[in-house]
Amino acid sequence: MSPPRRSTTRNNKRVIPDFLKRFGGSQNAVPNATTVRYIAGPHNAWATLVPSDNRGLPSIYLTEKMNYLGNQQQHNEPVFRRLPADPRIDNIHCSIFKEQVEGIGTIVKLQNLSRNGAIKVLERELMSNQFFELKEGDSIKFPSSKGDWYSYSIEIDLKPEGRFHNDYRIKGILGTGHFGEVKLATLANAVGNESKFKEYAVKIIDKNTVSKKPNTKLHDEIIIMHKIEHKSLVRIRNLYNERDKLYIVMDYIKDDSCLKR
């Protein structure tokens, strides 16, 4: 069964740069201190179910091509991911998996495997055994015996590792700090002399040296630097959220050139 088609119409009232969407996770909300999750889970996780309510539930990391989610693991299945312990959730409630589609590439699907069809994607209740193609930020809900729903949003990262190094070339080091370093870089595939020789300062943060909890100070720094626009202040030009490192690409102000503006 093919997954339902969805409209690609976008809301033009609010424009969020692509790199901030990747940083904040959901494309449907402006990033804030409670939604920023720049610290990855397992290094091989390609998707994460992030709780979107205040029940204190843990995130669920999807690391295998096929992942079964439910209330009780069957036969020590290594691709089992545990959902909240609730009588309304079946032992095997659903599966979430990657699928290669010719001419399109890798897509992510969910199949409802529950007995009573109790699962919602984007507020749409799925039938038993129905498939649904998932997109970044989609809401997924599982039933609760209290009459409400356990709510998650899915963060998907199917991009190959090392995207920063595909786009930029490191030219030298500008400085070091407790959590990382700042390096000088140029565009790897620049067209024209001006772009080819334009230099950037790249703050590289090692994720293993910072807290696994959302870092409000780092988040605020990124949001503020994106919003400001002044000829004497640097701006963030791009951001790469990769497995072990966070790359913040900024304007590079050489020597005292900022004072001469």
Of 125, 156, 187, which closes a domain? 156
> Are 53 and 149 in the same domain?
yes
Of 156, 189, 212, which closes a domain? 156
> Are 120 and 201 in the same domain?
no
- CATH number at 108 reads 2.60.200.20
Q: Is residue 217 part of a domain?
A: yes
> Are 75 and 149 in the same domain?
yes
Any idea what the Cα angle at residue 108 is, between residues 48 and 63, rounded to 5°?
Answer: 40
Say how many C-beta atoms besides its own lie within 10 A of residue 162's C-beta.
11
Q: Is residue 4 part of a domain?
A: no
Per the structure, how many domains does the chain have?
2
> Are 174 and 251 in the same domain?
yes
The sheet with strand 60-62 has its strands ordered as 60-62, 47-51, 149-156, 139-143, 120-121, 124-125
Of 156, 179, 196, which closes a domain? 156
Question: In sequence order, which ranges of the chain are alpha helices (DSSP H)?
Answer: 18-24, 163-167, 193-197, 216-227
In tens digits, what is the pLDDT along the chain, a chain of 261 residues? 555 545 444 443 334 455 555 454 433 333 333 333 434 467 678 899 999 988 889 999 998 899 999 988 766 666 889 999 999 999 999 999 999 888 787 899 999 999 876 899 999 999 999 999 999 999 999 999 999 999 999 998 876 556 788 788 889 999 988 778 999 999 887 766 667 778 999 999 887 777 655 556 777 777 777 777 777 788 888 888 877 788 899 989 886 555 555
Please give the residue range of the domain that contains residue 137.
47-156
> Are 212 and 177 in the same domain?
yes
Q: Is residue 2 part of a domain?
A: no
Q: Is residue 108 part of a domain?
A: yes
Q: Is 40 helix (H, G, I), strand (E, B) or coil?
A: coil
